[in-house]
């Protein structure tokens, strides 16, 4: 399983303690998606950032809901690759 997060690079220049806003999930849980497909839009310091699927698969569980704020490092969702080959079953990927 892959954890979907906003990559650390996106937080560069943001003041300490700043939270991002999860604007909208563009796919529902258990929906099959293709690598590179936009999964979710988040707003950070007046910029909207789209997070894409890291590979073919589906959103297993949405953790942060539309309209909720979150801090750097927060897992937004759990993603399962359609050809999951993780070594320990708990891969973490920031996208």
* Residue 85 or residue 11, greater confidence: 11
- Asked if 76 and 63 touch (Cβ cutoff 8 Å), the reply is yes
Nearest partner of 39 among 16, 17, 22, 19, judged by Cα: 22
pTM of the model: 0.76
> Is residue 52 over pLDDT 60?
yes
Go through the domains of the chain in sequence order and give each one's CATH number.
2-94 (2.40.50.100)
- Asked if 78 and 35 touch (Cβ cutoff 8 Å), the reply is no
pLDDT tens digits for range 7-19: 888 888 777 888 9
């Amino acid at each position: 399983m892959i954890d979907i997060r906003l990559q650390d690079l996106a937080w560069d220049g943001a003041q300490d303690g700043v939270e991002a806003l999860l604007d909208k999930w563009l796919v529902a849980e258990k929906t099959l998606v293709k690598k590179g497909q936009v999964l979710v839009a988040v707003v950070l310091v007046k910029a909207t950032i789209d997070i894409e699927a890291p590979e073919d698969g589906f959103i297993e569980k949405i953790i942060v809901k539309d309209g909720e704020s979150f801090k750097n490092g927060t897992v937004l969702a759990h993603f399962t690759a359609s050809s999951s080959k993780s070594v320990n079953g708990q891969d973490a990927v920031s996208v």
